[in-house]
């Protein structure tokens, strides 16, 4: 029997990948929630991405107490996507899940996801997630229940409640990554560039409307950083994700106008959010111009992946500038 098919008491091994970077303050709650799962046949792969705090020491402490915990360390900081990839390559379970190191999960999460996956014979199963800030529930990432064959691309961005594109509220067959050579890129919005490719390869996907993951909303997280450098980095990440998806679907002759339109419906508010952030800077004229230039560099460039999603890019760029002209002037 191979390691990837190893079962304990008939329960399949689930590899849980926890990318770790500078989250010592939250890591105990995260690891305790995984170790406390009612599905006990787990391996927990903590990938330390050169954390400057004591995260690695804390993981070693857990590994000494529980053999299911393993510390994997990068020699240099690589980012969230590569940390997930290290975990994928180290995983020995037939099934894999991801938990960010500042989040925590409910005790029955993986048992419920596994039960649904087996019943529906699904390649991916997802659940809803709660958004928590300072101990308060401030919203959710809801998904609808049920299962379907070949979850279409446009459904990810065009239906409500939609398929959540994040990595962390799901259980996957590990082979979905390995057999299709799908890994996370080293960009912001790495999950936006990856989840649609996994969905495209999955034969069947199931969903649970119940919320089993608690997403910690932090003002100091990289996705909420309001510096102009981070605004530009987020814009770079969004366009990089778009280029990766365009290349993937073009190579497979899987173009769908419906997917393109609905992805744009998702993308435009993301870009607008960065413009709104730039408007909050003390020197908002300069900040807005930096933000618009960052968008224009990508939108008006020669990368064919951008034209895949924005054949009307001149009109779109002019729209961005028109809406902010009075503010800049």
* Each residue's pLDDT tens digit, 89-134: 999 999 999 999 999 999 999 999 999 999 999 999 999 999 999 8
How far is residue 161's CA from residue 287's CA, in Å, rounded to a whole number?
A: 34
pLDDT at 1 over 80: no
pLDDT for res 219: 61
Average pLDDT over residues 248-259: 89
Residue 150: predicted pLDDT: 66
The mean of the pLDDT values for the chain is: 90
DSSP H stretches of helix in the chain = 24-35, 55-65, 80-90, 109-120, 153-158, 174-178, 190-201, 228-251, 257-279, 284-299, 304-309, 313-328
Q: What is the mean pLDDT of residues 25-34?
A: 98
pLDDT, residue 252, reads: 92
Distance in angstroms between the alpha carbons of the first and the last residue of the chain: 69
Q: Over 70: is that where the pLDDT of 3 sits?
A: no
C-beta of residue 63 within 8 angstroms of C-beta of residue 33:
no
Q: What are the residues whose beta carbons fall under 8 Å from the beta carbon of 318, sequence distance 6 or more?
A: none
Which band of pLDDT confidence, cut at 50, 70 and 90, is reported for residue 2? very low
Burial (CB < 10 A; 0-12, 13-18, 19+), residue 121, is exposed
Return the residue matching tokens 């199963």.
125
pLDDT at residue 326, as a whole number:
59
- pLDDT above 70 covers what percent of the chain? 91
Q: Write the pLDDT tens digit of every residue in 171-184.
A: 999 999 999 999 99
Q: Please, are residues 133 and 224 in contact by the beta-carbon 8 Å criterion?
A: no
> Does the structure show a pLDDT above 60 at 282?
yes
Which is higher by pLDDT, 221 or 271? 271
pLDDT of residue 160 exceeding 70, the answer is no
Q: Is the pLDDT of residue 293 over 60?
A: yes
* Structure confidence by residue, pLDDT tens digits, 129-155: 999 998 898 999 998 888 888 666 556
Q: Is the pLDDT of residue 323 over 90?
A: no
Please state, for a pLDDT cut of 90, what percent of the chain lies above it.
Answer: 73
The answer to whether residue 236 scores a pLDDT higher than 60 is yes
DSSP letters spanning 222-281: GGG--SHHHHHHHHHHHHHHHHHHHHHHHHTT---HHHHHHHHHHHHHHHHHHHHHHHTS
What pTM did the predictor assign?
A: 0.91
Q: Please compute the mean of the pLDDT values over residues 254-278 and round it to a whole number.
A: 88
Give the model's pLDDT for residue 314.
95
CA distance 182 to 201: 10
The DSSP bridge pattern shows strands 42-48 and 204-216 to be: unpaired
Higher pLDDT, 53 or 262: 53
């Amino acid at each position: 029997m191979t390691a990837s098919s190893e079962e304990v008491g008939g329960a399949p091994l689930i590899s849980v990948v926890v990318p770790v970077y500078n989250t010592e303050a939250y890591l105990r709650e995260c690891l305790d929630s995984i170790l406390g799962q009612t599905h006990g046949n787990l391996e927990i792969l903590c990938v330390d991405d050169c954390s400057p705090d004591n995260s690695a020491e804390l993981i070693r402490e857990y590994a000494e107490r529980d053999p299911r915990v393993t510390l994997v360390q990068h020699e240099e900081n690589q980012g969230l996507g590569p940390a997930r990839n290290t975990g994928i390559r180290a995983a020995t379970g037939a099934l894999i899940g991801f938990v960010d190191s500042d989040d925590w999960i409910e005790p029955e999460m993986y048992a419920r996801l596994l039960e649904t996956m087996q019943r529906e014979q699904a390649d991916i199963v997802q659940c809803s997630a709660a958004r928590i800030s300072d101990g308060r529930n401030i919203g959710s990432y809801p998904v609808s229940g049920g299962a379907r064959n070949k979850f279409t691309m446009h459904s990810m961005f065009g239906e409500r409640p939609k398929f959540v594109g994040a990595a962390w509220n799901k259980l996957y067959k590990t082979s979905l990554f390995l057999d299709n050579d799908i890994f996370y890129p080293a960009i912001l919005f790495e999950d936006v560039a990856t989840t649609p490719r996994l969905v495209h390869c999955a034969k069947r996907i199931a969903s649970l409307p119940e919320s089993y993951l608690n997403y910690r909303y932090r003002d100091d997280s990289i996705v909420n950083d309001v510096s102009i450098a981070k605004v530009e980095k987020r814009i770079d990440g969004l366009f990089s994700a778009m280029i990766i998806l365009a290349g993937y679907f073009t190579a497979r002759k899987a173009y769908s106008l419906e997917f393109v339109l609905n992805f744009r419906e998702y993308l435009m508010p993301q870009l607008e959010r960065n413009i709104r952030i730039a408007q909050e800077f003390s020197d908002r004229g300069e900040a807005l111009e930096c933000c618009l230039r960052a968008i224009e560099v990508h939108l008006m460039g020669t990368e064919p992946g951008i034209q895949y999603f924005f054949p009307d890019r001149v009109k779109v760029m002019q729209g961005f500038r028109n809406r902010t002209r009075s503010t800049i002037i």
